[in-house]
Amino acid sequence: MPIARKFPAAAVVLALAATPAMAGAASVTTTPTHPRIGQSVRMLVKGMKPGEKVKAYEVAPNHQTRTLYPRKRVNAQGVLLVTITATVKGKHTWTFTGRTSRRRATTYYVVVK
């Protein structure tokens, strides 16, 4: 006999407990994922709080790092579009963190010749 039939209330409680954890998750979509040097890279950050300020942290090749604080705030739908130009060849990892909610999303792209 499956556990759901013996304990139907426990299955419902587990399903409801997992829902809030997924509701606050942020995500980033990078386009393109393999840009050429000099090409623009768009990073679409979703799932932040409306009107929130964001911190962007980049780890570039050779362990170079930089921290950016975009002037734009997140819009009413919780979305922020960040556009940068690919300059250094190699893997670039970006982490976006909400400055009040601490929601975090990470993405990367690889710059080719």
Determine, yes or no, domain membership for 6: no
> Percent helix, strand, coil in the chain (nearest 5)?
20, 45, 35
86 lies in some domain: yes
pLDDT per residue as tens digits for the range 26-80: 999 999 999 999 999 999 999 999 999 999 999 999 989 999 999 999 999 999 9
CATH code for the domain in which residue 37 is found = 2.60.40.1930
Q: Residue 26, class by beta-carbon neighbours within 10 Å (0-12 exposed, 13-18 middle, 19+ buried)?
A: buried
Backbone dihedral region for residue 78 (phi beyond 0: left; psi -120 to 50: alpha; all else: beta)? left
In a domain, 5, yes or no: no
- Domains in the chain, number: 1
Burial (CB count within 10 angstroms: exposed 0-12, middle 13-18, buried 19+), residue 50: exposed
- Does 47 fall in a domain? yes
pTM of the model: 0.77
Q: Is residue 61 part of a domain?
A: yes
Q: Does a structural domain hold residue 8?
A: no
> What are the tens digits of pLDDT across the range 89-108?
999 999 999 999 999 999 99
